[in-house]
Amino acid sequence: MSLKMQPRRVKNRKTGWLFLLVLVGSCLAGCGSSGGTGIDPSAVGSQARLTFNGALTRSFSGTQGEMEFNLALLQGGDPPQPVTQLSVSQVSLQVNRVTDLLGIPQPVALTLTPTRIENPPSDLAQRPLLMAVLMDGSGSLLVLDPQSRRFLAVFRLLDQFRPAPLDLGAILRFDNRGAGFGLTALGQPLRTAQLLQDFTGDKELLRRGVLRAVPGGNTALYDATVEAGRFLSDFRPNERFNRRLVVFTDGIDNESTRSINQATQELTALARERGQKLTVYVVGLGVDLNLLELQSLAAATEGTFVLARFSEVLEAPFANLFPAAIGEHRLQVRVQSSVPLPAGSYLLSGELRVEREGSRFVVPFNDAVLTVGSR
């Protein structure tokens, strides 16, 4: 049984916050997943749709390496159903632009060649989805996302949830302020992650939980991620849920007691001990991030990483995590560079293409992170 709590109320500290709540709240009933940034079940019809859901660097040195791309192909319907069988020969990628983290074009040509694909289990879409969304509550969001576009972006993800009991969501936030933050379903205390809305299929309650994720404090990312992972694992632990943790952050961890290695070890050990698969999807905002560590966190849990350099483009990174959760294909890609790349991070943008049974699907990918000299 899940133990629920009343969320701690936070007093407004910034002029205009009440106006923001009214403005965003006016979208609650009408915000869907339209606009070409995710799956809109009412608009897809019988036409399948391809989504790019994130990318990881596996290794790169000199002129070559390996990346992993996460994609999904959903058939139209209510609810949409994933295509669960794709072959490497059906998928191709083209890089149209390479920049540094500031968006400055780099004089290099990159070739991406698919080498292997891991298809989703055929029953994945039929399993109940249990998704916890952990929202960064650090004060830097007042600068990077002053209009709170992250709230609307999370709504796009939640709006795609299928009716309960099939899909259940929970909302948590984190900063460094040590106050009583609630308990997991098995009675474990939350000391860094704050529970704003316990697991429910009620989208209205989930949206209200999102709106409570107000900024303030520093970034205790890894401690909160482990706590949120335990929160997710403790909910009816013996049931065969499709467990996914979405972590949103805009900064480098500066408050956790755990290192990235300790956090990933605890998460993977927890899943192994429970006989669960606990997948972490990381959404990063801005470029003041430890991209190597965030990719490592996602990779260790068979998740993915997606970057939004600006809050204006947060919608697609969040919305496309629903297709990822119910029908992800993990595509291994060989990367070849025309010239040696110095150590650092580069952003790749281009097109992802799937040709299947006489149909061709194309979707752009933006700011896929290639980290040179990693792992």
Which candidate, 290, 8, 9, 37, places its Cα nearest to that of 154?
37
255 pLDDT more than 60: yes
* Least confident window among 20-34, 108-122, 196-210, 311-325: 20-34
Q: What is the pLDDT of residues 32-59, one digit of tens each?
A: 333 333 333 333 334 789 999 999 999 9
13 pLDDT more than 50: no
Average confidence (pLDDT) over 131-138 = 94
Average confidence (pLDDT) over 54-83 = 93
Q: What is the pTM of this model?
A: 0.87
> For residue 160, which amino acid is it?
Q
Q: What is the pLDDT of residues 225-248, one digit of tens each?
A: 999 999 999 999 999 999 999 999
Q: What is the pLDDT of residue 175?
A: 77
94 pLDDT more than 70: yes
SS3 93: strand
Q: Where are the domains of the chain?
A: 41-120+330-341+354-362, 123-329
Where residue 348 falls among pLDDT bands split at 50, 70, 90? very high
Q: What is the pLDDT of residue 315?
A: 97
- Token pair for 62: 């000199």
Q: What is the pLDDT of residue 254?
A: 85
Where residue 179 falls among pLDDT bands split at 50, 70, 90? low
Where residue 176 falls among pLDDT bands split at 50, 70, 90? low
Percent of the chain surpassing pLDDT 70: 86
145 pLDDT more than 50: yes
Cβ neighbour number for residue 139 with a 10 Å cutoff? 14
Angle at 112 between CA 109 and CA 118, to 5 degrees: 165
Where residue 302 falls among pLDDT bands split at 50, 70, 90? very high
**Mean of per-residue pLDDT scores for the chain:** 87
Output 26 or 34, whichever has higher pLDDT: 26
Average confidence (pLDDT) over 3-26 = 39
SS3 168: strand
Per DSSP, the residues of 1-50 read -----PPPP----STTHHHHHHHHHTTTTT--S-SSSS--HHHHTT--EE
Contacts of 286 (CB under 8 A, 6+ apart): 144, 250, 251, 308, 309, 310
CATH architecture type of domain 123-329: 3-Layer(aba) Sandwich (3.40)
Which candidate, 154, 138, 151, 272, places its Cα nearest to that of 217?
138
Q: What is the pLDDT of residue 7?
A: 38
Where residue 24 falls among pLDDT bands split at 50, 70, 90? very low
288 pLDDT more than 80: yes
82 pLDDT more than 50: yes
First to last CA, the chain: 41
